[in-house]
Amino acid sequence: MISGKEFVKKIKNENSELFDQSRSNVRRFFASNPSKEHMIEHFTGRMVNEAMNMKAIAAEVASAPASMDVTELELLTKQAQDEAKHFRMVKEVIEHISGKTVDVAEAFAAESASPQAKGAGLLDKYEASSDPAALAAYQLVAEGRAEAVWNEMSECVEDQFISSRYAAIAKDEGFHANIGGWKLEKLVEGSAELQNRILTMVSQMRLDLLEISNKNTAISV
């Protein structure tokens, strides 16, 4: 068994391969010069993903027990607000690309009828709403990967309107990953059993996220 700080450091170090592959997928996607229609479809999925994250984190805040550490409550509230901001910013990017106002209800219905792979879907798979350690692991791994992906997109897109927004989102995602690391460090301290369970979970989570990355950046032919 290792300390909570060492445990989080270990997960961060082992995330590097997933993050590198995800960045590579993003570069390949944009180098393929995707059509405007493909870009709109791609970012509609990302918009919905941000909304899913917003609702999931907001639900954590709404159901927080009175005993929750006030610092954690404040951090989660900040994350929920960030996710709402990301939802709005990606919506603006879609409108910038399409030149049309996004009908959010219509976009959600279309995405629901033909859903893209989304990282936020893992919140249900790993029962993060009822498992604080799973939520912290999701934040550390999935939000950390999101930081890498949004950063890469900001560098791949020449349009400054889009690039500046993606850089801002990336910065927030890094903050969210740090929230997960902070929480996980506390939860696993002194528990070999929990450390082993989370390591097994994180290993599968990385495979899930890589599959999502591969599907999301598939080149239209």
Q: What is the CATH number of the domain that holds 16?
A: 1.20.1260.10
Are the C-beta atoms of residues 205 and 141 closer than 8 Å to each other? yes
pLDDT band at 220 (very low <50, low <70, confident <90, very high): low
- Measured CA to CA, the distance from residue 158 to residue 150 in angstroms comes to 14
pLDDT tens track for 132-145? 999 999 999 999 99
Handedness of CA 160, 161, 165, 166 (dihedral sign): negative
Please count the structural domains in the chain. 1
- Measured CA to CA, the distance from residue 185 to residue 64 in angstroms comes to 20
pLDDT band at 221 (very low <50, low <70, confident <90, very high): very low
How much is the average pLDDT of 20-36?
92
In degrees, rounded to 5, the angle at the alpha carbon of residue 204 between the alpha carbons of residues 203 and 208 is: 125
For the question of whether the overall pTM of this predicted structure is more than 0.95, the answer is: no
Residue 221 lies in a domain: no
Q: Which domain holds residue 66?
A: 4-216
pLDDT tens track for 148-174? 999 999 999 889 999 999 999 999 999
